[in-house]
Amino acid sequence: MDEELNRIIREAKQGNKDAFAPLVHRFKDHVYRYAFGMLGDRMEAEDLSQEAFMKCYASLPQLESEFSFVSWLNRIVSNLCVDRLKKRNKETTKTTSQDALGDMEIKSAREQHRVDSLKQTIDEAMELLSPDHRKIILLHDVQGFRYEEIAEILEIPLGTVKSRLNAARLALRLVMRRGEDKV
């Protein structure tokens, strides 16, 4: 994390409202993508993103170290997503693979159809995973967090991160191969 960002976080922690705006600007896309990946609904992800930043602002003075800001923000978003999923009384949601597949160059209508079909298959398979499995895949495979960062975000041991990611990938593979019911 760069020194400028640390300075902004310190100022925001001390109550400088103007210092919080750059934090929102810098992390809004990241928060939205994570929320959308968990919730599968654009409007709900936007609402949750705003809620996450409001909660972040209100709780910022309690942040122990500016170096842990990103993990702390992700934990807020993760907890809000889980709460939102519980309120829906539904354990499965849609996710998008657009970020992962969006960079592919599409050269023909046939290839476009194949990519669309693959995206749909991944979305449907992700819907069938448990929230814990979906969360770990999104954090590691989509957003690129390291094991240590995920352990901090989810507040679980490093070994649990590794085993849960392995189990989530196996479950995703099974669902994609067999189209089985909830894993």
Q: Which domains, ranges and CATH numbers included, belong to the chain?
A: 1-90 (1.10.1740.10), 94-183 (1.10.10.10)
Least confident of 74-78, 110-114, 138-142: 110-114
64 vs 28 pLDDT, higher one: 28
- Average pLDDT estimate for 1-12: 83
pLDDT at residue 166 in the model: 92
> To the nearest 5 percent, what fractions of the chain are helix, strand and coil?
80, 0, 20
Distance CA 19, CA 53 (A): 13
Q: At what angle do helices 17-39 and 69-88 cross, to 10 degrees?
A: 50
For the chain, give the mean pLDDT.
80
